[in-house]
Amino acid sequence: MQKIDEITDWGIIPYAQAWEKQQQLFNETINRKTNKEKNLQRLILCQHPHVITLGKSGNENNLLLPEQLLKEKDVEYFHIDREGDITYHGPGQLVVYPIFDLDAFGIGLKTYIQKLEEVIIRLLGEYGIKSGRMSKATGVWLDIDHPRMARKICAIGVRSSRFVTMHGLALNVNTDLSYFSLINPCGFMEKGVTSMRQELNVGEVDMEIVKNKLIGMFHEVFAE
């Protein structure tokens, strides 16, 4: 059974720097796979300063503020090469970038995304937060049976080539949710967003504990 070989925490890192480092690891993994060399399955954790990213199939109309005003708010803006629409990253949000060779795990892209969702669903369950999947809406949601109350707590967007992955998921832990008012999150105009802190009604959720639980859930889910 394939295991996750390397877990790295980049801490708080500018988005552009993380993107460049990811791309290097992604390309390295593809090259090693092409040459039939052994690869490491890498799991990267980090947080970003305020940034909005638009996926390759995203709609720019889902950005609700001119780019110049974003700069005045110290919010960066990037068009990137993942699937999905628009999302926000910022302090208090746990971002996870798996650089996995899916062939090593014996799974395809659809199952991979389902496993990412399952990691978060189980993690939130540890905190007593009931979550699930919503039809035709990638990510992890709360109150999925009540459309008017449904809200996203974790966004997922990936890129893959030769079944090697990059990008990943973003879990709102202690995120300042007011920044989501700058966009239609993931292209949804009628759905809300939430965070673990908001759902638990606490001052702050311990990020290090969340990280440790998440790593454990990755090991568990990807060993199944």
Which positions are annotated as active-site residues? Answer: 186
Listed as own residue / partner, the contacts of 194-203 with beta carbons closer than 8 Å and 24 or more positions apart are 194/142, 194/151, 194/152, 194/153, 195/92, 195/153, 196/124, 196/127, 196/129, 196/153, 196/171, 196/172, 197/92, 197/173, 199/129, 199/142, 199/153, 200/127, 200/128, 200/129
H-helix or E-strand spanning residue 105: helix 102-105
